């Protein structure tokens, strides 16, 4: 980012997204980037949105530079045609808003003015990211600590460094090799039988593993089995969050980052997905009973669950960094 002239933070009229944008804004400023070179763009704007531009401005401490209105039909047409929105639907309200934002930059000579600002050097950025003395000891959490965002590795897999997650990945891989889930039935009885079959297989696999260090107690072992079964058959790390009545919103920004709103307060969940594929499997399990499809040709779904909760999912190629999911 040290080569950037302008940083555009794109946010949505959503309480969790707003808080994440504020956190990102704080991190950028803490990395010595001038506040003047950061502008906020409000995407998917509607006049009836729960979070207004004034609320976003108050929380971020900066005015909204531009607002791109919600325009799903034009966006879908652009995706279908394989063209950028401004070319596929130049007269659409969202396209006009983008043109207006660019025109505003040109008329105010924004980029020319910002080019004179002093930005942090590569050495300053490296220094700001270096851990403080003694941080290594504080960061050395237990084997099951997963609140810190896990790094990503090629192939869409979350790089897990803790033994708990590594063991889950190994067992899950063996489970998939042992059982052909596609051949199992979809009825209630078949689902129950499949879960018991999987439970027996997981226990058998764990018996061949050294679990004394990772899961030393019976409760730990039961929790390990539950998490593996949830990932294989249910909604994975979302199972407990969905069952918690105090959780009013779940936002999966990536396989390694899940935010929740609990008791009116947003925060980072303690669980993560093991890979992008696992996240994709969960998204498909959520939308399939609703009679909806999500794939490369239809890379987003906006629907309602039977309990009234709203589900919004985006997958590649529309989601550049991997699948995302919001349940509120």
CATH 3.30.450.90 at 152-327, yes or no: yes
Neighbours of 34 (CB within 10 A): 14
pLDDT digits (tens, 9 = 90+) for 174-202: 888 888 766 665 566 777 888 888 888 88
Mean pLDDT of the chain: 79
Residues of the chain with CATH 3.30.450.90: 152-327
- The CATH class given to the 7-129 domain equals alpha beta
Q: Which range (30-44, 49-63, 111-125, 268-282) has the least confidence?
A: 111-125
Average pLDDT over residues 72-86: 87
Separation of alpha carbons 292 and 117, rounded Å = 49
N-terminal to C-terminal alpha carbon distance within the chain: 33
For residues 315 and 299, the answer to whether their CB atoms sit within 8 Å is: yes
pLDDT at 12 > cutoff 80:
yes
Least confident of 174-188, 267-281, 311-325: 174-188
Q: Tokens in use for 237?
A: 């790390």
Residue 36 has a pLDDT of: 85
Work out the average pLDDT over 66-76: 89
Pick the most confident of 118-132, 181-195, 307-321. 307-321
Separation of alpha carbons 34 and 63, rounded Å:
16
pLDDT, tens digit, 9 for 90 and up, residues 24-54: 888 787 666 788 889 999 999 888 887 888 8
Percent of the chain with pLDDT over 90: 16
Per-residue pLDDT for 142 more than 70?
no
As a whole number, mean pLDDT of residues 54-82 equals: 88
Exposed e or buried b per residue across 127-162, where buried means at least 16 C-beta atoms within 10 angstroms of its C-beta: eeeeeeeeeeeeeeeebeebeeebebeeebbbebeb
Question: Which of 146-150, 166-170, 221-225 ranks highest by mean pLDDT?
Answer: 221-225
Euclidean distance between CA atoms 116 and 102, whole angstroms: 20
Question: Residue 135 — pLDDT band, cuts 50, 70, 90?
Answer: very low
Q: Is the pLDDT of residue 100 over 90?
A: yes
């Amino acid at each position: 980012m040290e080569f950037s002239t302008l940083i555009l933070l794109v946010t949505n009229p959503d309480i969790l997204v707003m808080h994440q944008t504020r956190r990102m804004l704080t991190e950028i400023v803490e990395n010595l980037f001038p506040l003047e070179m950061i502008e906020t763009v409000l995407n998917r704007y509607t006049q009836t949105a729960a979070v207004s531009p004034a609320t976003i401005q108050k929380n971020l401490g900066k005015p909204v530079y531009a607002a791109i209105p919600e325009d799903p039909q034009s966006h879908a047409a652009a995706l279908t045609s394989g063209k950028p929105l401004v070319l596929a639907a130049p007269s659409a309200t969202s396209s006009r808003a983008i043109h207006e934002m660019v025109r505003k930059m040109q008329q105010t000579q924004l980029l020319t003015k910002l080019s004179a600002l002093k930005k942090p050097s590569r050495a300053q950025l490296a220094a700001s990211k270096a851990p403080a003395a003694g941080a290594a000891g504080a960061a050395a959490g237990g084997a099951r600590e997963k609140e810190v965002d896990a790094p990503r590795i090629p192939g869409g897999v979350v790089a897990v460094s803790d033994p708990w997650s590594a063991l889950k990945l190994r067992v899950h891989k063996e489970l998939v090799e042992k059982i052909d889930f596609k051949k199992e039935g979809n009825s209630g009885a078949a689902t129950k039988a499949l879960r018991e079959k999987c439970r027996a297989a997981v226990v058998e696999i764990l018996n061949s593993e050294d679990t004394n260090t990772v899961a030393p107690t019976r409760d730990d072992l039961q929790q390990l089995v539950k998490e593996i079964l949830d990932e294989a058959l249910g909604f994975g790390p979302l199972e407990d969050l969905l069952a918690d009545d105090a959780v009013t919103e779940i936002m999966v920004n990536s396989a390694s980052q899940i935010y929740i709103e609990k008791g009116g307060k947003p925060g980072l969940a303690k669980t993560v997905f093991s890979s992008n594929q696992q996240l994709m499997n969960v998204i498909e399990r959520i939308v399939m009973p609703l009679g909806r499809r999500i794939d490369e040709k239809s890379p987003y779904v906006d629907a309602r669950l039977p309990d009234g909760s709203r589900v919004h999912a985006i997958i590649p190629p529309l989601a550049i960094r991997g699948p995302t999911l919001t349940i509120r």
